[in-house]
Structure 1
């Protein structure tokens, strides 16, 4: 699926299945389950590859569900999308083996964070961009970020509300690039902690502005102290590019390792 997270309180359903959503707190999961249930003719519950926070977008979120009714792929895709709000759509559907799991079968997940770096805030595409008015040195940010590659304890970049049992993650690559006025941070890891990407970006910004040395990210990582790292970057600039699965599952190439 893809979705614009601007109008949602995140991925995770806040109510029990079948109950009405809390007023003013719509979620992507609840919207999808309601649409799938209409197509199936009975209740459907889904599991996603990676939960996204309020305001965070996705271009290739993967979910699985046990289909209680026989429908062809076209029926699931078009029928479900017809019952979703304009900000959400189902892009493709593939039958999978019973032991496939959207979350646990994934071997990696990828995000992109986009920053408009100019003196004036954005008007167009503003829901997909963060904004930094001071000049950023993207090359310095990229060099600094390489200290995070590998398996480490990322306690310095997790929120205090993170419920993960431990903070060790394998960050497989991170790249910071500039194209015109837009600086992007793309990162892939086996899994992410709560707010991990946004906290990494928030700590890269002082490096890009020249307020901290390039070695600072490595020092933060080693120190494991969230209180001395940079602030959490805004949610608007973050897009979940999707999980990555072994080829054995026969999924489209965009989500294969």
Structure 2
């Protein structure tokens, strides 16, 4: 078997016209356009093992997505100096590989990750989002109180079972550790939620935001979202916030020497 080199790809995309990350028959996805570009460069079945840090849903954006592939070392040597530029020429304008970096074979974009960080943008101004930001910012017609939003956020930080906020998958845990959840106002008045955790289950971030928004606009008490943590199934009272306000902005990794150890620990936890 030919020697291979594992490559880390840092990826950005506008999720508006994608049906999420994962390849789906007859649907336009981020992984689909990336694999198509790689195949045009290297030939079929040369770039193998595409693995992503976190599969984003349809309409969700990314400025800090990470994935990895394995390329024959000879192919990587031939493309090393031009791969980013060539991918830019082959991929559509709403998806970009910003960097390609060789990493140890123990690196796993999904299981070696120590955290994922998202931001959710909301404009509660009377005129809505600025036109140039309308595709990554939700318009909320009710005024939001940032102090109430932060009170709701504080009750959700820590290690909890987030079953009330997740689409449950068979044999998968809904226990997650949120290490950061805070709100701020940007200079243009947009409210931004930053949420960071070891990992997220499907629809979790948008469900958390949806619950907190009902606190921020005064319809729910600040303690309400945290009370839902006692549930062991998805709450019908939680509205999932629209996808377009959400962006994956960063994925963190352990030190290089700890890639394999972290990946093994994560696999055990997720099982």
User: Cα deviations across residues 99-123 of structure 1 (Å, max 9, x unaligned)?
Assistant: 1111011111111000011123333
Question: Distance in 1 between the 2:209 and 2:145 partners?
Answer: 13
CA drift at 1:164: 6.3
Match of 1:178 in 2: 185
CA drift at 1:199: 0.1
Question: Distance in 1 between the 2:205 and 2:14 partners?
Answer: 18
CA contact (8 A) 1:110 1:241 kept: yes
What is the aligned counterpart of 1:113 among 111, 120, 140?
120
CA drift at 1:238: 0.4
What is the aligned counterpart of 1:5 among 3, 15, 20?
15
Match of 1:34 in 2: 36
Question: Distance in 2 between the 1:164 and 1:195 partners?
Answer: 17
- Does 2:76 align with 1:63? no
Question: Distance in 2 between the 1:7 and 1:249 partners?
Answer: 38
Question: Distance in 2 between the 1:194 and 1:138 partners?
Answer: 26
CA drift at 1:72: 4.1
Question: Distance in 1 between the 2:67 and 2:235 partners?
Answer: 34
Question: Distance in 2 between the 1:63 and 1:200 partners?
Answer: 25
CA contact (8 A) 1:158 1:226 kept: yes
CA contact (8 A) 2:148 2:216 kept: yes
- Does 2:99 align with 1:92? yes
User: Cα deviations across residues 17-62 of structure 1 (Å, max 9, x unaligned)?
Assistant: xxxxx1xx20000100111122223332411110001000000111
Match of 1:73 in 2: 80
CA contact (8 A) 2:113 2:251 kept: yes
TM-score (ref. length: structure 1): 0.89
CA drift at 1:126: 0.9
Question: Distance in 2 between the 1:164 and 1:193 partners?
Answer: 13
Q: Secondary structure at the match of 1:77?
A: helix
Q: Secondary structure at the match of 1:10?
A: coil
Q: Secondary structure at the match of 1:93?
A: strand
Residues 149-228 of structure 1 aligned to structure 2 (within 5 Å): 149-160=157-168, 162=169, 165-179=172-186, 180-228=188-236
Hey, which of these two has a bigger chunk of strand by percent?
Answer: 2
CA contact (8 A) 1:141 1:208 kept: yes
User: Cα deviations across residues 108-157 of structure 1 (Å, max 9, x unaligned)?
Assistant: 11110000111233333111011101100112111211111111100010
Structure 1 vs Structure 2 CA RMSD:
1.9
Match of 1:254 in 2: none
Question: Distance in 2 between the 1:12 and 1:6 partners?
Answer: 15
Runs of 5+ in structure 1 lacking a partner?
Answer: 16-21, 252-257
CA drift at 1:229: 3.5
Give the number of aligned pairs.
242
Q: Secondary structure at the match of 1:236?
A: helix
CA contact (8 A) 1:178 1:184 kept: yes
